[in-house]
Amino acid sequence: MVERGKYSEVLLDIYTREELQEAGKLINKDSDRKFSYSGLQTLTKTYLAKNDKGLVMELPQERFLTVALYLMSIEKKKDRMKYVKKAYWALLNHYIGLATPTLKNAGAPHGSLSSCHILTMDDTIDSIFDVAKQVAIFSKNGSGIGVFAGFLRARGSRIRGVKVQNNGVIHPARLLSVLAEYVDQTGTRKAGVSIYLPVWHADIKDFLELRLKTGSQEKRAHSVTTAVTIPDEFMRRLHNKELFTIFDPTEVKKKLGVDLNMQYDKKRLQDGEEPNEKDHAFTYWYRKAEELDLEIKEVVKATDIYKSIFVSRKTGGTPYMYWSDTSARQNPNGHVGMPFASNLCTEIIQNMEYDEIVENGLDENGYIVLKLKGDGLVTCNLSSLVGHNTHDLDEETYQEVVDIQFRMLDNVISMGRLSVHQAKQTNDLYRAVGAGYLGMATLMTDKGIPWESEKATEFVGEEFKRYLKAQIKASHKLAVEKGSYPLYEGSDWATGEFFDKRGLVGSEWEELRSMAAVGMRNGYTAAVAPTASNSIIMNGSPSIDAPYDVAYTENKSGMNVLIVPPNYNNRTKWFYKSGFEMDEMWSINHVAEAQKYIDQAVSHNMHVSSNIKGSELLRLDMAAWDKGLKTIYYTHTEDREKPEDCIMCAG
C-alpha cells in the first residue's frame, strides 16, 4: 500500500516488521458485525482506501488499525504499541467516532487531519484577497470554512477619506460564493463557507438577503451560508421592542477611537443598571457610538431586523445565530484574545485575529523582507464520544476511553498537515481540541427517557458533567507528560476562573480545579459538532439533537430502502419522535444544560413548523440566549429539504 501511494511512508519508517506483525494480530474481524449496512456503505463510499480503479483495498478494521498506527507513530518507542492497542480498542468497540478527515486521511500520504478553519477578514484589499486565497486552499483540501467579515467597512463608506460608492460586505461575500463553487471539496461538492456579520453593521439588511431567491441576483450569494453575531444589547432591545442603531464599523472606530468588534460585556447588564466600561464594554461603547454624528447611521426597529432574520431562516434555514457576549464571556483564554464568530457548523469558539503583514527591513540582497503576524487562524480538531456505547462503562474504563481520545486529538495537532502556515501557528499556540458527542437520542430511548421531560434535561447535564471531568483529567495527564499549551499561564484553567464562571464549585470539583491549576495540554477541550456520517457509522443518532426523522426512505441503487434507528424495537419505539413533532423548547433546555460543561459550543439544529410565526421563533431565540446557548446552527422546517452537511467538518 505504501509502494502504491495509498499509505504514508511513516508507517514503514517508524514501525518495525515485528511491530506491524504484532499490530496485525490485534485485528478483530468479528467487530465488523457492529456496523449496519448503511454504516458499511458510508465507510466504503468515503473512508476506505481504494485503488486507481475505485476498488476497495482495505476493510473497516484495517482502516481503524491504520489510523491508530499513524496517530501513535509520534509517541515514544517504548510506549507507542501500548497506545496503538488502546486507540484500536476504542475504535473497534465504537467508543470514539473520529472526525471525517482524521478517519479518512490518517495513514494516507496526504490530506488534512483537521476538520475546519475560521478566518478573519481585515478591512484591507490585502486581507480580503489573502483570506480568499486561504479559503480556496482549505477548500481544495476539503475543509469547512467560517469567515468573520465584521471589520469590513459598510457600503458607501469613505476610502482614504474620499466619499465613493464602496460596495461594503456584499461583493466580498459574492467573491467567496463563487470560490465555493469553483474550488470544491476534493471534487465531491461545492465548498462549505459561512460568513459572519454583526447585527449592528450597516450592511446587515443586504447581508440577510444574500441567499434569497427573490430580488436582484447581483446582490445574492447562494453558495455561502450566512451567520449573524448578536450582542446582549440587541436581544434586550428586541425583547423591549426598542430602536436599534446600525452603522459603519470603520467610521465608528475612527471617530470613537474604539473598535466595537473588539469589545464584549464581561457581565450581563441587569435591568435598570447603567453600563460601565469595565464590565459592559460593548454596551457602553455601542451607546457612545449611537450619540456620534455619523455619515453612515440608521436607526431602525430591532423587531424589523429580526423580521429579516426570521424570513431568511424560515425560507432558507440560515442565518446561523451567534451570541457574541455569551461566547466571549465563557472563553477560557480571554487573557490573550477573544472570539468574533464561529465555524461553518457553529460549535467552535476560539480566539481569532486577522493576519498582519509588515515590512521587516531588507535582506542581504536588498530585497524587502515581509513579516507575517498570524496567531488567530482557528483550526477545528474533532472527534466524538459515542454516548450510547460508553454510558454504562465503569469509571476507570470510561476514563481510559477519554484519555485515548485526547491523546489522538492532541497528536492530530502535532502531526499537522495544514495547508496554511498560520493555521499551524495558532494550532500550536492553543493546542485546541473539540471533544464532541453523538448518540444522545439513541441513549435516551435505550434508557426509556422521554425527550420531552425534565428528566431528559437532567440526564443530559449528568452525562456532560461526567464527560467534562474526564476531559480535564485527560488533558491534565497529557500536560504532565508533554507540557501545557504555550498560552496556558493566565488562562481560566490556570486561575480557576473556568470553574467559577460556570458555578462548578464544591468538593466534587476541588481535585479537578487543582489539576487544571497545575497544567492543561489543551487550551480548549470540548465542542459538539454535527455528526451525520459519523453517526451512521457508529449506529447512533447525530450529536445531541432530536431525530430529524424517525423512519424515512432512501433511494439506494434504484431501490427505496426504509431507514430506521438501529435500536428501534417494541421497547424503544414509544420514546422515538421527530424533532418536528415536539416543542423545540425541550431541545433548547437540553442544549443549555450541556453548555454549562462545554467550553466552546454545541452545533444545534432547530426543528420548527413550516407555519411558524415570527413571535414563536422569537420566543425560542430569546430563551436560547437567556439560557446561555452560544449558537444556533440550521433552522429546519419540515417542508424544506435537509441541507447536506459539509462532510469534512463533521466531528
Cell numbers describing residue 140: 481544495
Q: Which of 344, 555, 531, 552 is nearest to 441 (CA)?
A: 531
Q: Which of 24, 54, 58 is nearest to 40 (CA)?
A: 58
Of these residues, 167, 261, 331, 343, which one is catalytic?
Answer: 343
In whole angstroms, what is the distance from residue 382 CA to residue 24 CA? Answer: 27
Catalytic residue list contains 116: no
How many angstroms separate the Cα of 601 from the Cα of each of 89, 350, 574? Answer: 28, 10, 30
The contacts found for 277-281 with CB under 8 angstroms, 24 or more apart, are none
- H helix count then E strand count, the chain: 25, 18
Of these residues, 141, 251, 331, 345, which one is catalytic?
Answer: 345
Q: What is the DSSP string of 303-359?
A: HHHHHHHHHHHHHHS--EEEEHHHHHHT-TTTTS-------TTS---------EEEE
Of these residues, 251, 347, 353, 463, which one is catalytic?
Answer: 347
Cell numbers describing residue 228: 449573524
Catalytic residue list contains 347: yes
Give the three-class secondary structure for 513: helix
Strands 193-198 vs 225-230: parallel, antiparallel or unpaired = parallel
Beta-carbon contacts of 37 under 8 Å, excluding residues fewer than 6 positions away, are none
Cell numbers describing residue 489: 499561564
Contact 383, 474 (CB under 8 A): no
User: Residue 168, by phi and psi: left (phi above 0), alpha (psi -120 to 50) or beta?
Assistant: left
Beta-carbon contacts of 119 under 8 Å, excluding residues fewer than 6 positions away, are 131, 134, 135, 145, 146, 147, 148, 377
The alpha carbon torsion through 29, 33, 39, 42 (nearest 10 deg) reads 30
Beta-carbon contacts of 636 under 8 Å, excluding residues fewer than 6 positions away, are 317, 548, 579, 580, 605, 606, 607, 608, 642
Beta-carbon contacts of 544 under 8 Å, excluding residues fewer than 6 positions away, are 437, 438, 440, 441, 460, 528, 590, 591, 594, 602, 604
Which residues on neighbouring strands pair with residue 84, listed in sequence order? none
Catalytic residue list contains 343: yes
Is the omega angle on the peptide bond into residue 172 within 30 degrees of 0, that is, cis? no
- 382-386: strand order across its sheet: 96-98, 382-386, 434-438
> Mind telling me the catalytic residues?
343, 345, 347
